[in-house]
Amino acid sequence: MNLFPYFDAVDFSQYVDNVPFAWKYSMGGTIEKNTHKLQEGRLKNIELAIVGVPFNSGHDDFERTATPDKLRKAFYRLADVRKLNIVDLGNLKASTSHKGNYLALRDVVDYLNELDIVTIILGGSQDYSYGVCQAFRSDPFFSLTAVDAFLDVKKGVESLSSTNYLSQVFKTMPDLFQFSLLAYQSHYVPDIYFEKTKGINAHLRLGKLRDNLSGAEPVLRNSDFLTFDMAAFKYSETANSLNLPNGLYADEACQLMKYAGASNRMKVFGLFGLNIDSETVELSVNLAAQLVWYFVQGYLIRDKRKPEQGDGFSTFSVEIPELSGPLVFCKNEDTGQLWVQVQAINNETLYFACSEKDYEAASGNEIPELWLKYVQKTDEILK
């Protein structure tokens, strides 16, 4: 597949004067160097690829936005990560319809997944997450996580938009393995709306997440795609257009991004909903750039060893009276991260990220609820 016809290339020269130190020490300098190599046809060893989606979708048409380029301006001026081969493919070219744009993004992500290249999407509106999800349509274990103050499902008869894109995802992927919503605000999400979701869930409302931010780490470690809506922030952090008095703080979000980047399973990170029309646009754009930077930092510390490989992992068996066999946990000896083992009905052994809380529950003769959900869902898939 030739990626270049899908994109308008980045003009790096417009960003050079914006950097507070030598260009070669900036993210922009590193990305420019790597991208030029890509243009020479050298796809080998690329680890991450930036994709700009310069569209904000409405009900009847879509408008082109400068959001990806403004985000690049802020991101490129940050300190480089010299051990990483990261490129910028440019901005996705407009199709003649919503559907055409979604399909183009699907094709790009699908191809990058095949090459084991992690995709970073600088969005436009969050409904483009639907296009990304379609790249995983044949993966029975696809897991989606959203960071958002709202649950974006349909409230009635509505056209596909950033406020209801999840309904279309659930409609086209009724067997979705897992969907988790992080940092949602209970006063904006009626409980009945969760009945419209599909798959296993590990939702964390804002208050619970703030009490224990590390509780999101195993959720993100189990995720293939993270879609992040800038509306998840408190108004004082980004002056978002929704004027939300509550929401995430900047440092909390940066830590979440580091967790996401460090996840071996994470293949796509999409940042959407950046408001570039506000009076405090520089604040919002700078924060968005730092989110991307911390995702990249997380990627740098990925431990690519897998629990099924055994090396560097300790195994703990916990006997629970209600179960016919022991519950097996694997612990990464360097990071302390835990996985729980699921023995599927086809005798395949699977591993899912879990928390210390799950291990403690099992040690107290209590069957971890999440483990039970994984067993039921995998049996459903593999029977």
Instruction: Per residue of the chain (383 residues), give pLDDT as tens.
Output: 889 899 999 999 999 998 999 999 999 999 999 999 887 667 778 999 999 999 987 544 567 889 999 999 999 999 998 789 999 999 999 998 889 999 999 999 999 999 999 999 998 899 999 999 999 999 999 999 999 999 999 887 788 899 999 999 999 999 999 999 999 999 999 999 999 999 999 999 999 999 999 999 999 999 999 999 999 999 989 877 688 999 999 999 999 999 999 999 999 999 999 988 776 789 999 999 999 999 999 999 999 999 988 889 999 999 999 998 899 999 999 999 999 999 988 888 999 999 999 999 999 999 999 999 999 999 999 87
Alpha-carbon span 182 to 204, nearest angstrom = 5
Q: How many helices (H) and strands (E) does the chain have?
A: 12, 15
pLDDT of residue 214: 97
Write the CB contacts of 8 (distance below 8 Å, at least 6 apart in sequence).
90, 91, 93
pTM, 2 dp: 0.96
Retrieve residue 150's tokens. 């709202």
Per-residue pLDDT, 48: 97
**CB 339, CB 354: distance < 8 Å:** yes
Query: Residue 268 has what pLDDT?
Result: 99
Domains of the chain: 4-300 (3.40.800.10), 309-382 (no CATH)
* C-alpha–C-alpha distance, residues 249 and 177, integer Å: 30
* pLDDT score at 167: 96
Q: What is the largest CA-CA distance in the chain?
A: 67
The pairs formed by 342-347 with CB atoms below 8 angstroms and a separation of 24 or more are 342/371, 342/374, 342/375, 342/378, 344/378, 344/379, 344/382, 345/378, 345/379, 345/382, 345/383, 346/382
For residue 59, the model assigns a pLDDT of 45
pLDDT number for residue 40: 63
Alpha helix segments (H runs only) across 195-344: 206-211, 217-221, 235-238, 250-262, 281-300
Q: Which long-range contacts (CB under 8 A, 24 or more apart) does 314-323 make?
A: 316/359, 318/359, 318/362, 318/363, 320/362, 320/365, 320/366, 320/367, 321/365, 322/367, 323/367
Q: Which pLDDT score, from 0 to 100, does residue 242 have?
A: 82
Gap between the Cα atoms of 116 and 300, Å rounded: 15
Residues 318 and 362: beta-carbon distance below 8 Å: yes
Cβ–Cβ < 8 Å for 289, 274: no
Residue 41: its pLDDT value, please? Answer: 65
* DSSP structure string for 52-73: E--EEE-SS-EEE-SHHHHHHH
Q: So what's the pLDDT on residue 58?
A: 57
